[in-house]
Structure 1
Amino acid sequence: MITRAEGAYLGAVRAFQNPMLDLLHKKHAPLVVSLLSVTFTAERPTVPVADAHTEIGDALDQLRAAGYEENLPTGSARDLCRQWADAGWLVRQVLDDDVEAYRLSAHAVGALEVAGRAGGARARVSQSRVRTLLDAVEQLAQDADPDVLVRMARLDGQIKRLQAELDRVQRTGTVDEVDDEELLEEAENVLHLVRELPADFARVAESIKAMQRDVVTALRQDERPTGDVLREYLERGEHVMESTSEGRAFAGALRLIGDPQRLDELAQQLDVVLRHRFTRRLAQQQRTELREIVRRIEQGLDQVFTAQREASYVITAQVRNHDPLRDRQVDVLLRDVMAGMQAWLPGARRFQPVDPLRRLPVAEVEHLRQTAGDLRPPEAPTPLAAWDDDGDDVTGDDARAWGGPHYADLTSHLVAFADGSDEVDVAAAFEAAPDGLRRPVDLLGMLEIAHTHGMTETGRVAFVDAVRPDGTRRRLAFGAVTTTTKDDDA
């Protein structure tokens, strides 16, 4: 039986295991918080690794020069960033231009917000804060109560109150002014709510990345049929936003703040607030935070959407390229490398040189072909036929009979066949030609003449019989066309 004190203690122990609280109760927590807040800002959420090391190193040198040497940890800026990444405060990622960069984790963002609130103005129990609580409870009760009559009564009461307010404004023509002190309390309440947003967005993005790592790890270790794996993981990749509790909560909030028109209305409302005289009582940092609310929301949305796109791309690529045998081979190779490192590191000295691998090991192959195949054919080629150069001479008429189209004779035949008509069917003209103009090559010539004078396709297939000079016949088919003969006499 666990007592109340023991249960409370165990709960506190679990809470302080969270990287956010772990950061805040460390010995050098003020230094970590200050360096992270200076390096990472709302305008620069990601910083290249080399730039971060340089800027943090310069900040450490400035603190040492100012006399804070005793409060600073040992080690270089690179060592500190590596420690912060191992503790879960920094996250390394590769940008689109293949540059490695740091960004704050959700735990670090939350720690900075807690430190900022603790070091800033003390939160007060104000009318605005209590009204926010009452409005939230009222909305929760309305959403939880399914009674139709109760809902109708509440809506009717709201309509009556609003109608009474409208009648009063129309009757008097004035709006009751709110005291500057009350407006100041409401502005501080808004800033208190806004400071929670960056950590919330970061937690959603990191939950999506954690789901991505879980999916890829499970896929690499999965031994089920490939079809089942593809169906399950492609579905999770398509519905990545609904795969985590943070993602589902964000999807609900997105319905409220994801509309560009609503963000424009929010920007206009903030502009009205900033023009009011009470804002002069706000600190410059608070006025800047009010002015940057819309941009911080847009940055948070972009951070979550980027994580969603990357997760969908990685999961889909892993599924498409999934090769269980190759993955197991890579895992075995990595385990061998880690085992070799663990065996080498205990006896190694600092700055001890390591002999590089200058050549890859030789593959153990039993036999390789050492000679090329015989390029000679299996048998000699067939002898060439004898050619009688002293045979009968070919006459000019024979050469013309077996030569190209007789364009002039074909043109005259087309004109004669048309007999004054504007159009002539090429197939019919070819069939009516004498045998000397019905060679296969003459059909090509007649089609060429028709194309020159402009031809029209009829949409049917024509068949003609061609006659070669040796008397053999050949039946040919082509798309039937007609041509004009208007300019043939010119």
Structure 2
Amino acid sequence: MTNTRAEAAYLRSVAAFRTPTLDLLHRRYAPFVVAVLSIVFTVDRPAVAVADAHAEIAEILDELRAAGYDEDDRALPSGTAREICRHWVRVGWLVPQIDGDIEVYRLTAHAVGALEITGRTGGGRTRVSNSRVRTLLEAVERLAADAETDPQARIARLTAERDALDAEILRIQAEGTAPVDDEQLLEEAENVLHLARELPADFARVAESIKAMQRDVVADLRRDVRPTGEVLREYLERGQHVMQSTPEGRAFAGALRLLGDPERIDDLAEQLHTVLAQPFARLMDADQRQELDAIGRRVELGVLEVLTAQRRASHVITGQVRTHDPVRDRQVDDLLRDVMSGLQTWTSTSSAEAPVDPVRSLPMAAVGHLRQSVSDIRPPGAPAPLSDAADDAEFLDADTRAWGGPRYAELEEYVAGLGDEFDLGSAFEGSADDTRRPVDLLGLLEIAHRNGMTEGETVSVVEAVRPDGTTRRFAFGAVTARTFRESDDD
């Protein structure tokens, strides 16, 4: 008979070892992976350019192989640094992202958790200490106090805390402060490091939960067939409140109220520097001092990582909603489904060594063949010649011609009586109202250009009158024009 408790415990253990965190520690090259990730990714450099990561990992491989560690089959993996990183992306230890204009690698929450586990187990003593127990007791006490709903009980607790603080103040005023033993201070510092090591994995889990929610929202949006207006309202609201969409995000929002104050971060850094300046800090090794000094920076980068994931998710969701087109999305899904079906069909009938012909160009649409020649390109008959006589033109409305082009005949007759030379601006101002339209100014300029003209350095300003009586002023370089004479061509 199956033991239910044993079976449940075994299934939980199997599920835990299937996570990338424990899978990393259980892998063949786990020491190498942990060592490389801890070197390449640091507190001050959570994201590394892909090209830089490949170069650094290749250098680490060369150093370890030169030291003889490649003689053990379980020590170093084979392949290039690029191939190793691609494998780490596939198994969930690295995630590639676009940061600005370059592609970078970041550690996943599982990889950060694995590094935290190895750092905690190999980084010194983990003991039941006064500081560790006090932290637990204070956390339980705070939990019980926050869960208390009786106002009298809360008042009694706060009064007791106030009395204890007053008694401590009086004691210090009377006796002064007694120095704390260095061993106790070291113990409390180790507890602080223990708590701080868990923060990067927590921040990474929050960021990854937001990214997973973003992927789910986009996938749901592509499958959504509801009216576009209803879809827009719902998904835009989810994009604006993305931090409240996951349990990790809601928990982080509460923590952000404590960490979001820049003064609190500055106070944290100042307090850490004060601690490191104390004599007991000499009892800590260099790695512990460096880790303690980097806590403020680690918190700041963790908050920034989560907020960046939040902004990116909001931007992606909003962009997807604004371009939401159910018909087009279904067409794309059908096309991708056909491609995958064709690929499966091809792989089932082809061997692994079968060559694949690349698609060098997209197929062209098939169109019918057009005629390239005709028997006679000349039309069967010439059209009737146009008449120059103005009397042949018929106008349905008296205003039709008034809104037409320049009156060249009237303008040439007017110019002929202006003498050998004339100022074009003055000539336009002196013409009749029916030849003082804006188009007539262009016609007058054309006549002056044809007959010969000289441009001056001054500016002429004229006022044109439209057929409806409205006026418009024009400014142009002064022009002196010649009157066309028959003798000029002799």
TM-score interval (norm. to shorter): 0.7 to 0.9
TM (norm. structure 2) is 0.75
2:77 pairs with 1:76: no
Change (3 A) 1:353 1:264: same
Unaligned runs of 5+ in 1: 372-377, 407-439, 442-467, 469-473, 478-490
Judge conservation of contact 2:50–2:105 (CA < 8 Å) in 1: yes
2:226 pairs with 1:221: no
Q: Which residue of 1 aligns with 2:293?
A: 291
For 1:152, what is the secondary structure of its paired residue?
helix
Judge conservation of contact 2:43–2:298 (CA < 8 Å) in 1: yes
Q: Which residue of 2 aligns with 1:260?
A: 262
Change (3 A) 1:381 1:134: farther
Give how far 1:365 is off. Answer: 5.7
Change (3 A) 1:384 1:113: farther
1-structure distance, mates of 2:130, 2:108 = 34
Q: Which residue of 1 aligns with 2:456?
A: none
Aligned counterparts, 1:179-258, within 5 A:
179-258=181-260
**What is the letter of the counterpart of residue 167 of structure 1?**
L
Q: Which residue of 2 aligns with 1:169?
A: 172
Q: Which residue of 1 aligns with 2:57?
A: 56
2:152 pairs with 1:149: yes
Q: Which residue of 2 aligns with 1:85?
A: 89
For 2:308, what is the secondary structure of its paired residue?
helix
**Given the alignment, which residue of 347, 354, 360 partners 2:362?**
360
Change (3 A) 1:381 1:15: farther
Q: Which residue of 2 aligns with 1:31?
A: 32
1-structure distance, mates of 2:322, 2:370 = 35
2-structure distance, mates of 1:248, 1:208 = 11
1-structure distance, mates of 2:148, 2:413 = 114
Judge conservation of contact 2:204–2:306 (CA < 8 Å) in 1: yes
Q: Which moved more, 1:160-169 or 1:74-83?
A: 74-83
1-structure distance, mates of 2:299, 2:267 = 13
Change (3 A) 1:157 1:339: same
List per-residue Cα deviations over 1:152-177 (Å, max 9, x = no partner).
001111111111112222334x2122
Give how far 1:319 is off. Answer: 0.6
**What is the letter of the counterpart of residue 95 of structure 1?**
D
Judge conservation of contact 2:43–2:297 (CA < 8 Å) in 1: no
Judge conservation of contact 2:275–2:281 (CA < 8 Å) in 1: yes
Q: Which residue of 1 aligns with 2:98?
A: 94
Give how far 1:309 is off. Answer: 0.8
Change (3 A) 1:84 1:405: closer
Change (3 A) 1:385 1:111: same
Give how far 1:54 is off. Answer: 2.5
Judge conservation of contact 2:95–2:108 (CA < 8 Å) in 1: yes
Judge conservation of contact 2:239–2:318 (CA < 8 Å) in 1: yes
1-structure distance, mates of 2:272, 2:387 = 95
Q: Which runs of 4+ in 1 moved over 3 A?
A: 339-346, 352-356, 364-371, 378-384, 386-391, 393-396, 402-406, 474-477
Change (3 A) 1:120 1:390: closer
**Given the alignment, which residue of 103, 109, 133 partners 2:112?**
109
Change (3 A) 1:152 1:365: farther
2:279 pairs with 1:277: yes
Q: Which residue of 1 aligns with 2:319?
A: 317
Aligned counterparts, 1:378-457, within 5 A:
383-385=388-390
Change (3 A) 1:207 1:476: closer
2-structure distance, mates of 1:298, 1:145 = 33
Q: Which residue of 1 aligns with 2:448?
A: none
Give how far 1:132 is off. Answer: 0.4
2-structure distance, mates of 1:302, 1:365 = 56
For 1:176, what is the secondary structure of its paired residue?
coil
Give how far 1:77 is off. Answer: 2.4
**What is the letter of the counterpart of residue 85 of structure 2?**
C
1-structure distance, mates of 2:385, 2:21 = 86
Change (3 A) 1:379 1:191: farther
TM (norm. structure 1) is 0.75
CA RMSD in angstroms comes to 3.4
Give how far 1:380 is off. Answer: 8.0
2-structure distance, mates of 1:258, 1:109 = 23
2-structure distance, mates of 1:26, 1:476 = 88
**What is the letter of the counterpart of residue 104 of structure 2?**
A
1-structure distance, mates of 2:104, 2:264 = 33
1-structure distance, mates of 2:371, 2:266 = 74
Give how far 1:306 is off. Answer: 0.8
For 2:390, what is the secondary structure of its paired residue?
coil
Equivalent pairs, count: 405
Give how far 1:296 is off. Answer: 0.7
2:125 pairs with 1:122: yes
Give how far 1:186 is off. Answer: 0.4
